[in-house]
Structure 1
Amino acid sequence: MTSTKPDSNVKTALRVIEIIEIFAREAKPLALSEIARHLDAPVSSCLALLRTLASLGYLYETGRRQGYYPTGRLLAMAQRISRADPILERVRPSLEELRDTTSETVVLGKLDQNDRVVYLEVLASPHPISYVGVAGSQRDIHANSLGKALLSTLDVQDRLKLLSARPLQKHNEHTLITPKAVEANIQASLERGWFANLGESMDDVGAIAWPVRVLGNNYAISIAGPLYRIEEHIDDKAKKLRAACRFIEQSF
């Protein structure tokens, strides 16, 4: 007799993550019916989840029939996890220095299991007009400066195989949508000393990146912001970026 319990557990875990993301996106208390609508799920199953999270101290009712909202327990747990990260703990000071010297948003990324770029850390620019990213965000590898930098760490054949595995999404007229075009861009980037996304995924947004190897694993760091600011003194920004990457590699 086949049990469906593992699939049920996975679905429940995904629902919990979705609930957390809904609260992060909506940024307000939500009624049971609202949460069920966002999840496109039955009210009964949502009620069971919410009651469980509330019993564990992760949610509370803001008032009778006024909705649920996360407690500080979730933030405290996230902060404890972040402080104990074996990579970020040692890399963050260099990322902060790079952010301060360039005054632009700095992102640390890595390839995930689906061959997409995942943001591991995002340090926001002090400018009121800046690139805004969130840790955990995923991006297409071919239209992202971090993605190109990470692709450069692979052998050419592995690179082309990865790029040919599925159609490359076109975000706008600047997006490179063939493996051959992306490969040519990577070769040019290696020669000039920086990988770029100059409006290829979002109009008027630019970024430059460089790979960094830490404890035998490939990461990449980018400097991102409004396109006009990224293109201004781009070689100087790239020099600071490569220096930060070298320092990080040497510190490990």
Structure 2
Amino acid sequence: MNAKSSSAVTRVAAGTEPSAVKSARRTLEVLEFFAARHSAATVSEVAEALDYPQSSTSMLLRTLESLGYLMQEGGSRRYRPTLRVMLLGTWMHDELFGQASLFSNMAQLRLRTGQAVLVGLRQGIHVRFILSLPSVKANALRYPVGVMRPVCLSAAGKMLLTRESDREVQRIARRANAQAATPQERVDVSALLNEVRESRERGWAESVNYPQRGFANLSTLLPAIAGQPHMGITLGMRLEVLEARRATLLDALESAVRMLVPD
């Protein structure tokens, strides 16, 4: 039985299932579709394979993209899963097959530093964190998985901007300023550009008194992965921790990244 006929049978068996159940089922079926396909697909291809209406398929894929589970290939209309999908079951992989994954490396970094560890990717003028491991400290901030931060303010965002040209950094900053909800979210475009240039040169970025006063972030880039957007890894901490341990934390951050570079 092919994917299309299987989906149709499932829908008939489901009968008059509640809309929330239907949405959950379709979300899982889309992820399973990509798991079986092993390649990107257009809205039409997904709709045809799963026998969904074109309009609701388009809406579902856009929603999964906005949540960081799917991405559109550059300049095309084709969608493919991001690493956020893989991370859903990484802890099980570690439990069954050993400590050799992104998740386990990030967990080790958390234990080594005691700080929150986050992995994020850029979505327009924001960074969405697709992995978040909380600090072991009782007075630390909590960063929920899926939380979004302004790309021009967060340390991860500044590092992700290092992958863009100076002209593109300025364009993104102006767009972010135009959409800023509060004056605190606006940035000095020239100052940001200088900071991005410096971060590009030294290989790391930081943000202080952000996302709240008295807190800070330290970030660098993860190794590039074919078919995936650039991602940044971040340590979140209290500001006094950054000021007292910057060199040690940077060493831990860079060591974790080196562990992920293929031999």
What TM bracket, shorter-length normalisation? Answer: 0.5 to 0.7
| 1:83 maps to amino acid | G
> What is the deviation of 1:186?
1.5
Match of residue 238 from structure 1? 250
| 2:132 maps to amino acid | V
Cα pair distance change 1:152/1:143, threshold 3 Å: same
> What is the deviation of 1:226?
1.1
Matches within 5 A, 1:93-108: 93-108=104-119
In 2: Cα distance, 1:205 partner to 1:163 partner = 23
In 1: Cα distance, 2:206 partner to 2:131 partner = 19
In 1: Cα distance, 2:202 partner to 2:176 partner = 28
Normalised to the residue count of structure 1, the TM-score between the two structures is 0.61
Of all paired residues, the percent bearing the same amino acid is: 16
In 2: Cα distance, 1:205 partner to 1:108 partner = 18
> What is the deviation of 1:97?
1.1
Match of residue 233 from structure 2? 221
| 2:104 maps to amino acid | P
Cα pair distance change 1:176/1:232, threshold 3 Å: farther
> What is the deviation of 1:212?
1.4
- Given the alignment, which residue of 110, 131, 147 partners 2:121? 110
Match of residue 103 from structure 2? 92
In 2: Cα distance, 1:80 partner to 1:129 partner = 30
User: CA offsets per residue over residues 96-140 of structure 1, 9 Å max, x none?
Assistant: 11111111000000012x331001011111111112100111110
> What is the deviation of 1:81?
7.7
| 1:99 maps to amino acid | R
Normalised to the residue count of structure 2, the TM-score between the two structures is 0.58
3-state DSSP of counterpart to 2:177 = coil
Matches within 5 A, 1:64-213: 82-83=88-89, 90-112=101-123, 114-167=124-177, 169=180, 172=184, 177-213=187-223
Counterpart contact for 1:148–1:195, Cα < 8 Å: yes
Cα pair distance change 1:81/1:228, threshold 3 Å: closer
In 1: Cα distance, 2:87 partner to 2:253 partner = 27
Counterpart contact for 1:106–1:221, Cα < 8 Å: yes
Cα pair distance change 1:80/1:242, threshold 3 Å: closer
> What is the deviation of 1:179?
1.7
What is the aligned-residue RMSD (CA, Å)? 3.2
Larger Rg computed on CA atoms: 1
In 1: Cα distance, 2:230 partner to 2:87 partner = 22
Cα pair distance change 1:213/1:228, threshold 3 Å: same
| 2:174 maps to amino acid | S
Cα pair distance change 1:192/1:176, threshold 3 Å: farther
**Deviation >6 Å, runs of 4+:** none
3-state DSSP of counterpart to 2:195 = helix
In 2: Cα distance, 1:171 partner to 1:230 partner = 26
Match of residue 261 from structure 2? 249
| 2:197 maps to amino acid | Q
| 1:82 maps to amino acid | L
| Structure 1 residue runs without a partner (length 5+) | 1-11, 18-78
> What is the deviation of 1:214?
3.5
Matches within 5 A, 1:44-83: 82-83=88-89
Cα pair distance change 1:95/1:81, threshold 3 Å: closer
User: CA offsets per residue over residues 64-97 of structure 1, 9 Å max, x none?
Assistant: xxxxxxxxxxxxxxx9981069xx9831011011
